[in-house]
Amino acid sequence: MSVLSSVAGAWPVFVQGLFLGLGLIVAIGAQNAFVLRQGLRREHVGSVVAFCAVADALLITAGVFGMAQALGDRPLLARGLALGGAAFLAVYGWRALQRARQANALDVTNTGQGLRRGAALAQAAAFTLLNPHVYLDTVLLVGSIGAQQPAPLQGWFAAGASAASLLWFSALGFGARWLAPWFARPRAWQVLDALIGVTMWVLSLLLVRHVVNGL
């Protein structure tokens, strides 16, 4: 019973990490376009998906536990970062809602020469690790929010955020044939951005409530 109750208590934290991860990763960008393109070519899909998902998981885990350790004896700094994260999520949500008013699409064409596995992984690494936003999102933002969780639940939060990356990249890579026409429609991205905007605002409010309750 104690195991079931602990899992039940951890589930909301896992879901919060999952939705935060999805909200940050689901966007029109070079990394997503590359994974989708590899899926369309059916070329080293498993390797590319695994690399992107594992890289995100490592960055998220380092962010959550590194920030938790750094903020352990600094409650004022922890609250400040949490409020900063809430503000960032609110702005991110607002931008997503603004994008929902525009007609954008993910332009992916199944053209060009094939890549060897090493070259495909090198490009995946470049799109993942040379993007400065990945460190802001996964290490600083996800890390600071995950660090606000009680110590026994921080791993669940990191697992939820990491699961978001695995689910998204797997869908892009292995479902490319079905998803590409859908992502080529601007209306699909408008609906998706609207959902992301609302989700980010909800998470922002939850984070503010967490800080207020901790005062």
pLDDT of residue 88: 82
**Residues 196, 204: Cα–Cα separation, whole Å:** 12
pLDDT of residue 1: 43
pLDDT of residue 17: 93
Q: SS3 letters for the chain? A: CHHHHHHHHHHHHHHHHHHHHHHHHCCCCHHHHHHHHHHHHCCCHHHHHHHHHHHHHHHHHHHHHHHHHHHCCCHHHHHHHHHHHHHHHHHHHHHHHHHCCCCCCCCCCCCCCCCCHHHHHHHHHHHHHCCHHHHHHHHHHHHHHHHCCCHHHHHHHHHHHHHHHHHHHHHHHHCHHHHHHHHCCHHHHHHHHHHHHHHHHHHHHHHHHHHHHHC
**188, 99 contact by CB (below 8 A):** no
* Longest pairwise C-alpha distance within the chain: 58
pLDDT of residue 2: 54
**Residues 159, 142: Cα–Cα separation, whole Å:** 11
pLDDT of residue 112: 55
**Residues 42, 215: Cα–Cα separation, whole Å:** 52
**Residues 5, 9: Cα–Cα separation, whole Å:** 6
Phi, psi angle pair for 176, to nearest 5° = -60, -40
pLDDT in tens, the chain (215 residues): 455 555 667 899 999 999 999 988 887 677 888 898 888 888 899 999 999 999 999 999 999 998 877 766 677 777 787 788 788 888 888 988 888 888 776 666 655 567 889 999 999 999 888 877 788 788 888 988 888 888 899 999 999 999 999 999 999 999 988 877 877 777 877 887 888 888 889 888 887 887 777 65
